[in-house]
Amino acid sequence: MLFAMAEHLELPRPWRLMRTAGWNLAESLGIPVAGYFIGATLGGRDVGMLTATGVVWLAVLGRKVFTRSVLFFLLQFPLANLGLCVLFARTAPTRKPLVAQLAAEVVALRHPSHHPGLHRFFQGATWLWAGIFAVSTAGLAAAMALEPVKVFMLLTTAVTVGGVVAGTGASAFWFFRVLRRFGLRVRFAQP
């Protein structure tokens, strides 16, 4: 027989397909975001992050108990990068760009907040990180659509590590150039 029988894929009915996809999206993104906002409202940002993390682990545990399997929902990787892109871009034009806040909180950097050159650096660096996360989002979305799961996971690791290393290097280089340009000096805090 020259003509083989046509193969086909079968999808569930549209309503069931929307319900299944909606639940998976809510489970991987909506419920953790809701947990974050509830925790942040009740106890601040740290409590929000812990609540969101706890909600994710409870969802994984619930899936394991009730279905005996854990869904590996790959969309969370590009969506996480998109969320970070929006977060950085949203704060970049403000008086408190996220890179300045992170420098103050992560490495306890104290700096003159009124210094216009330094403020422009923090705004620009925040835009830089928004761009890094935007490129990561696009790259991971394309990889998710075009590559098998194993290759996608390797690309996710490479893109994440590569983006962080490149962004950190570019930010540090830029920071030291700004310090030199404006004659600012770095000193260690007194005990």
* The predicted structure's pLDDT at residue 3: 47
Do 176 and 103 sit in the same domain of this protein?
Answer: yes
Report the b/e string of 17-42 with b at 16+ CB within 10 A.
eeeeeeeeeebbbebbeebbeebbee
- Whether residue 157 lies inside any domain: the answer is yes
> How many helices and strands (H and E) does the chain possess?
7, 0
Q: What is the mean pLDDT of residues 84-108?
A: 89
Tell me which of 153 and 136 has the higher pLDDT: 136
Q: What is the overall mean pLDDT for the chain?
A: 83
Q: pLDDT of 147-191, one tens digit each?
A: 888 888 888 889 889 999 999 999 999 988 988 888 887 777 676
Do 51 and 94 sit in the same domain of this protein?
Answer: no
Do 80 and 55 sit in the same domain of this protein?
Answer: no
Do 45 and 128 sit in the same domain of this protein?
Answer: no
In the predicted structure, residue 64 carries a pLDDT above the cut 80 = no
Do 104 and 167 sit in the same domain of this protein?
Answer: yes
* The predicted structure's pLDDT at residue 61: 80
| 96 within 8 A of 111, measured Cβ to Cβ | no
Do 31 and 105 sit in the same domain of this protein?
Answer: no
Domain that holds residue 42: 20-72
- Whether residue 107 lies inside any domain: the answer is yes
Do 65 and 115 sit in the same domain of this protein?
Answer: no
Do 60 and 136 sit in the same domain of this protein?
Answer: no
Query: Residue 138 is encoded by which pair of tokens?
Result: 């696009």
Do 25 and 55 sit in the same domain of this protein?
Answer: yes
pLDDT classification of 1: cutoffs 50, 70, 90: very low
* The predicted structure's pLDDT at residue 72: 59
Do 85 and 67 sit in the same domain of this protein?
Answer: no
Do 97 and 161 sit in the same domain of this protein?
Answer: yes
Q: How far are the Cα atoms of 7, 92, 123, 125, 180 from residue 175, in angstroms, in the given order?
A: 59, 16, 12, 9, 9
Tell me which of 169 and 59 has the higher pLDDT: 169
Tell me which of 141 and 165 has the higher pLDDT: 165
Last residue of a domain, one of 72, 87, 102: 72
- Whether residue 49 lies inside any domain: the answer is yes
Do 66 and 81 sit in the same domain of this protein?
Answer: no
